[in-house]
């Protein structure tokens, strides 16, 4: 399900997209879905951690049925996996992540190119605010805040593309990438992502669709390189040194 494209070119915040309360007119399943997804993104439900329908229903103050439906939706999106004891937050393997990154790169580029003509002053202000929060979170090594701002930055651009099919496609792969990439590659190299976001933003401010597309694709390609480098370092560190 897409959040809905911003046809007037203005980006919406994460709170604008998520149901504010169970009385907001959205279904309880939607409420449960966004709350569980936020818990996964924030690390409150860690990778591999149990996703208990009963416990979540109690926490949310609702019946098990909408929570169960929300978990099923998250399972179909590969953020949650089935286990013998119920369900758990998915732990994407290296193959899954590289597949998702390969798909995401050209889609992010297309979204940036389509978004460029829709940029207005309000959208620029919103993207600048999100980018500033992302930079601050990275500098402070605040994982949860960085993941939220990273997701919000890209989703704002997706909505400005005004292409619902593209938004749907990106939504399915983006959370998997962010969850897996941050679990494997939280290093000082994340500061490179701040510079890459800056280049995308600069091109969008200029309404330069071609440069925005190139910057977005390069950003995802560089993320892939960072993840691969992190895996190599992890493998090297795990390899015992031969005794002299």
**Structure token pair of residue 235:** 């493998």
Q: Say which residue, 93 or 163, is predicted with more confidence.
A: 163
Residues 6+ apart with CB under 8 A from 15: none
Is residue 170 predicted with pLDDT exceeding 60? yes
Please list the residues that pair with 59 across neighbouring strands: none
Rounded Cα distance, 118 and 57, in Å: 40
pLDDT digits (tens, 9 = 90+) for 47-100: 889 999 999 999 999 999 999 999 999 998 888 999 988 999 988 778 888 888
Is the dihedral angle over the CA atoms 178, 181, 187, 188 positive or is it negative? negative
Rounded Cα distance, 116 and 110, in Å: 10
Ramachandran region, residue 162 (left: φ > 0; alpha: ψ -120 to 50; beta: rest): left
**Structure token pair of residue 45:** 């439900």
3 state SS of 88: strand
Kindly report the pTM of this predicted structure: 0.74
* Residue (of 195, 220, 170) closest to 1 by Cα position: 170
* Phi (first) and psi of residue 87, to 5 degrees: -150, 155
* Residue (of 154, 222, 232) closest to 189 by Cα position: 222
pLDDT digits (tens, 9 = 90+) for 111-153: 999 999 999 999 999 999 999 999 999 999 888 788 889 889 9
**Structure token pair of residue 230:** 């992190």
């Amino acid at each position: 399900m897409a959040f809905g494209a911003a046809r007037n070119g203005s980006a919406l915040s994460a709170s604008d997209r998520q149901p504010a309360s169970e009385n907001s007119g959205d279904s309880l399943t939607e409420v449960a879905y966004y709350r569980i997804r936020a818990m996964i993104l924030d690390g409150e439900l860690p990778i591999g951690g149990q996703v208990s329908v009963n416990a979540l229903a109690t926490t949310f103050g609702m019946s098990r049925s909408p929570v169960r439906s929300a978990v099923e939706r998250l399972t179909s999106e590969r953020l949650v996996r089935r286990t013998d004891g119920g369900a758990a937050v998915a732990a994407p393997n290296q193959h899954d992540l590289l597949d998702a990154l390969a798909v995401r790169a050209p889609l992010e580029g297309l979204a940036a190119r389509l978004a460029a003509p829709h940029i207005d002053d309000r959208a620029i202000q919103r993207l600048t605010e999100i980018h500033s929060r992302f930079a601050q979170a990275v500098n402070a090594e605040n994982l949860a805040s960085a993941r939220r701002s990273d997701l919000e930055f890209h989703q704002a651009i997706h909505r400005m593309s005004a292409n619902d099919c593209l938004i749907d496609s990106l939504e399915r792969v983006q959370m998997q990438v962010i969850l897996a990439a941050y679990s494997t590659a939280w290093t000082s190299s994340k500061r490179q992502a701040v510079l890459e976001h800056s280049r995308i933003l600069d091109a969008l401010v200029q309404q330069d669709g071609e440069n925005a597309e190139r910057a977005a694709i390069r950003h995802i390609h560089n993320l892939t390189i960072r993840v691969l480098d992190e895996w190599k370092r992890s493998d090297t560190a795990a390899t015992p040194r031969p005794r002299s």
